[in-house]
Amino acid sequence: MHIRPEIAVLPAYKQGRQAAADAFKLSSNENPFPPLPGVVEAVQAQTAFNRYPDATALAVRAVLANRFGLTVDEVHVAPGSVAVLHELAKATSGPGDEIVYAWRSFEAYPGVVTVAGATSVQVPNRADGGHDLDAMAAAVTDRTRMVIVCTPNNPTGPIVTGAEFEAFMAAVPSTVLVVLDEAYAEFVTDVTAVRGAALLERYPNLVVLRTFSKAYGLAGLRVGYALGPAYVLDAVRACAIPLSVTAQGQAAALASLERESELLERVAELAARRDRVVRALRAQGWAVPDAQGNFVWLPTGEGTAVAAEAFERAGIIVRAFAPEGIRISIGEHEAVETLLETARALVGDLQAAE
Ligand SMILES: Cc1ncc(COP(=O)(O)O)c(C=O)c1O
């Protein structure tokens, strides 16, 4: 049987480790809060499992279109924004084409590119963990079909500013699709951050990705979306696996969109917890990059595996990216003290080893 050689060596997506019942799972940037009030009931009302869902997710698209001042054709809903990434790569890129993105960034990007048959061009982050947008623009060639900009960057944390993004867009040919992955947009408190939706009118080569998985706490129901030009999203729709956003996911998204004030309260609480964790880690001596998502980055370097084990022994499952660092999601309030105690012990060990 023939398997494409690049697929034969491609590892399957590696999920954040599941936690034992008494451990905190801070490895997948999930929301520790349960779904917003009324969302479970809205999902429970969807019991016609013998029927297919609305393949176009029209009701969700209509609400989003209204919210962002777009037409419904300028909104595409998919089973997670990772699905949109796959659809975009397939729609724009194939063998011989290049997709540029920062590295380290979201771990699904390399697989998305390879599955499309295209070639990854990874541009190292700046020392502060942010995208090096000048280098990314310089990496664009006549083979580049798509550039992915992730803000805040998963796993390192920093945002791209509006000014940086506009300079970048000016440097990139308008024939190259720029995908602004804003999976963590709701957690951003830095007022200088780029806000993609507001720029769609200005840049015809821009698509913005958002998700219900993070701030809205619907990771398990798989609903993400793209905002962008209708003809690009029509091509994306043509690449989608039909009927893959469930009626339950659509109902949950709609109910969540109606509960904006509760959502914002929770997001504010998580952002405040994040800022407190960052301040405490820096006071311990960690060089934590600016954290604008619902996670923090510990540059543990060669000590990454040892540090991840120490967290696990303390009952915290983290995401280790050896030999660079560890990403820790901002989860339950109860996890914070253990997180900080473990980090404090580690920073001492790492310094003692130097
Ligand atoms: C930067 C980024 N983009 C996209 C996603 C995909 O999220 P989902 O497919 O759940 O919408 C994630 C999830 O971790 C992410 O970190």
pLDDT of residue 350: 67
- Return all residues near 10 (Cβ < 8 A) that are at least 6 apart: 111, 114, 115
25, 149, 212, 214, best to mutate for ligand 1 pocket (most atoms within 8 Å of CB): 214
Give me ligand 1 centre to Cα 87, in Å. 14
Instruction: Tell me whether residue 146 is exposed, middle or buried, using C-beta atoms within 10 angstroms of its C-beta: 0 to 12, 13 to 18, 19 or more.
Output: buried
Position of tokens 């405040």?
Answer: 272
Please check whether residue 307 is in contact with residue 346, taking contact to mean a CB–CB distance below 8 angstroms.
Answer: yes
**Helix axes 304-313 and 336-353, enclosed angle (nearest 10):** 140
Nearest atom within ligand 1 for CA of residue 212: 11
Does ligand 1 lie within 6 Å of residue 153's CB atom? no
Nearest atom within ligand 1 for CA of residue 29: 14
Strand-strand pairing, 144-150 and 206-211? unpaired
Please check whether residue 36 is in contact with residue 216, taking contact to mean a CB–CB distance below 8 angstroms.
Answer: yes
- Residues paired with residue 77 on neighbouring β-strands, in sequence order: 225
- Written as one letter, the residue type at 315 is G
User: What is the rounded average pLDDT of the residues 240-262?
Assistant: 96
Give me ligand 1 centre to Cα 2, in Å. 31
Least confident of 72-76, 247-251, 349-353: 349-353
For the stretch 31-53, pLDDT in tens is: 999 988 899 999 999 999 999 99
Does ligand 1 lie within 6 Å of residue 219's CB atom? yes
- Phi and psi torsions of 328, nearest 5°: -120, 120
Is it the case that residue 257 has pLDDT exceeding 90? yes
User: What is the rounded average pLDDT of the residues 266-283?
Assistant: 98
Confidence of residue 120 (pLDDT cuts 50, 70, 90): very high
How many CB atoms are closer than 10 A to CB 59?
15
Instruction: Tell me whether residue 173 is exposed, middle or buried, using C-beta atoms within 10 angstroms of its C-beta: 0 to 12, 13 to 18, 19 or more.
Output: exposed
- Written as one letter, the residue type at 144 is T
**Strand, helix or coil at 275?**
helix
Work out the mean pLDDT of the chain and round it to a whole number: 95
Nearest atom within ligand 1 for CA of residue 150: 1
- Phi and psi torsions of 45, nearest 5°: -75, -15
pLDDT of residue 352: 47
**Strand, helix or coil at 348?**
helix
Is it the case that residue 315 has pLDDT exceeding 70? yes
Nearest atom within ligand 1 for CA of residue 79: 9
- Residues paired with residue 99 on neighbouring β-strands, in sequence order: 120, 146
Does ligand 1 lie within 6 Å of residue 137's CB atom? no
Give me ligand 1 centre to Cα 214, in Å. 8
Enter the DSSP assignment of 21: T
Q: Is the pTM above the cut of 0.85? A: yes
**Strand, helix or coil at 58?**
helix
For the stretch 321-331, pLDDT in tens is: 999 999 999 99
H or E segment at 6? helix 5-8
User: What is the rounded average pLDDT of the residues 225-242?
Assistant: 97
C-alpha to C-alpha distance for 233 and 224, rounded to whole angstroms: 14
Give me ligand 1 centre to Cα 309, in Å. 25
Enter the DSSP assignment of 16: P
C-alpha to C-alpha distance for 62 and 286, rounded to whole angstroms: 45
Give me ligand 1 centre to Cα 39, in Å. 21
